[in-house]
Structure 1
Amino acid sequence: MVEHDVLGATREAYDAAASTYARLFRDTLRDSPLDRAVLGAFAEVVRASGNDRVADLGCGPGHVTAHLNGLGLAAFGVDASPAMVELARRACPGLRFDVGSMAALDIADGVLGGVLSRWSIIHTPPRELPVILAEFHRVLAPGGHLLIGFWASDGPSRPTQEVPDHAVAPAYRWSPDHLAAMLRESGTAEVARMVREPRPTDRRQFQEVHLLARKARAGAA
């Protein structure tokens, strides 16, 4: 399991920053057509699978969960921060939000058509990430899709790098190829990726990456 002190420290940090975080990030999708396009493609492939149930893991104040619901998915959110979950419930009273850990999800095996992990793995120490990816694989139905967003490290020779100045909690960047290989090892294979170069106005000049992966169907090679 992910170390309790790491999870606890991250939870406490986001509890303290929850109101500020919600105010700063609740309108980010409105100003990001590429992010909306990626989420739209994710929603389309999930709906096509015939299972529209999706977990937004690390949902924060719930704005992305609500966006997925608006795209026709039966989306619900999970976050380690009780303060974030409370804000999400207030903002989106018709949707479900639960407090939980990505390392030990209170979700049955193989029931989800999709999992969204949007910048929620960045606070996971590298040695602990396989536990999280295994949980994503466990809760996905065969043929289900995972969309995972993160910051890229500086080239394939640097599979992980710590972000030195994250405002809330220790954070990490990942080589897209390295993370794709970890997904394959967990049984969830990459089918597409989007890499966006940093904009001049971005505080952090890191590439932003979305990897779309799919869990093999039963009996598939």
Structure 2
Amino acid sequence: MTDDLTRTSETPTALRATADAYDAVATLYADLARDALDGLPLDRAVLAAFADSVRDAGGGPVAELGCGPGQTTAHLRGLGLDAFGVDLSPVMIGLAREAYPELRFEVGSMDALDLPDGTLSGVLSWYSVIHAAPEDIPGYVAEFRRVLAPGGHLLLAFFESEGGPVTPFDHKVTTAYRWPVDEMAGIAREAGFVEIGRMLREPGEDERFRRGHLLLRLAPQG
């Protein structure tokens, strides 16, 4: 993997805008996110289920794609996974490396990962596809499939639309989307994933929207 994302005119405008938006708020975001899981037992439970699933399947490298300042990657490592992080924002990656120098963090884009086919045992996308345009989500999920070994596991977390259609909203950093859980599950199924389970969590005291989580397994080939 490359250490830096070179932003040129060839970099898609939407990706560049998202990276710039997170660069601008990275320090504040890192401060707010550092202890984000402490008061969220259901979120910790679904991460633990993901970790157990990866270990039960034989273990192996796990990538958190869209890792931000690295706190969830570090949580995965604490659960016994060989986890590393990738993020589009160079400033976020710098903060992650500073906070967790023992872990590996790289700059990169989830839609074009610098990884060989079938090299990962797990992929975590923890609210990292929320800014992608709806028509781009199948491409992201296809890239997750490409880098996963057969039988590998994917955990998707996103804002759920509570029975409505895919809906944009004014995320504090840049425009994001809420998804019907069945529609997100259908995209994963079309890409070759089998659903293991799902968890819907109602918004907490300081949250606006319901949260969706899908635990998936890539169907073995043959």
TM bucket, shorter chain: over 0.9
For structure 2, list consecutive stretches of 5 or more residues without a partner in the other structure. Answer: 1-10
Equivalence for 1:180: 185
2:197 is aligned, of 178, 192, 195, to 192
Matches within 5 A, 1:141-220: 141-155=149-163, 158=165, 160-163=166-169, 165-199=170-204, 201-204=205-208, 206-219=209-222
* TM-score, normalised by the number of residues in structure 1: 0.94
CA contact (8 A) 1:152 1:174 kept: yes
Structure 2 Cα separation of the partners of residues 203 and 92 of structure 1: 27
User: 2:62 maps to which residue?
Assistant: 54
**Equivalents in 2 of 1:34, 1:186: separation in Å?**
27
CA distance in 1, matches of 2:203, 2:44: 17
Shift, 1:154, TM fit: 3.3
Change (3 A) 1:203 1:45: closer
Q: 1:51–1:112: 8 Å Cα contact kept in structure 2?
A: no
| 1:22 aligned onto 2:30 | yes
- C-alpha displacement of 1:170: 1.1
What residue is the counterpart of 2:113 in the other structure? 105
- Secondary structure of 1:60 counterpart: coil
Distance in 2 (alpha carbons) for counterparts of 1:12 and 1:115: 24
Instruction: Name the aligned partner's letter for residue 172 of structure 1.
Output: Y
Q: Which residue is equivalent to 2:123?
A: 115
Give the secondary structure class of the aligned counterpart of 2:217: strand
Task: Specify the code of the residue in structure 1 equivalent to 2:86.
Answer: V
TM-score, scaled relative to structure 2: 0.93
In 2, the alpha carbon distance for the partners of 1:198 and 1:95 equals 31
Match for 2:117: what amino acid? D
What percentage of residue pairs aligned between the two structures are identical? 57
Equivalent residue in structure 2 for 1:134, among 134, 142, 167 = 142
Runs of 5+ in structure 1 lacking a partner?
none
Q: Structure 2 CA distance, aligned partners of 1:172 and 1:47?
A: 32
Deviations 1:67-105 (A, max 9, x none): 101111100000000000000000000110000000100
The yes-or-no answer on 1:73 pairing with 2:73 is: no
How far apart are 1:198 and its partner, in Å?
1.4
AA matched with 1:35: D
Tell me the distance in 2 between the aligned counterparts of 1:127 and 1:186.
Answer: 14
Q: Distance in 2 between matches of 1:154 and 1:73?
A: 32
Runs of 4+ aligned residues of structure 1 deviating over 2 Å after TM superposition are none
Q: May I ask how many residue pairs the two structures share in their alignment?
A: 213
CA distance in 2, matches of 1:153, 1:203: 14
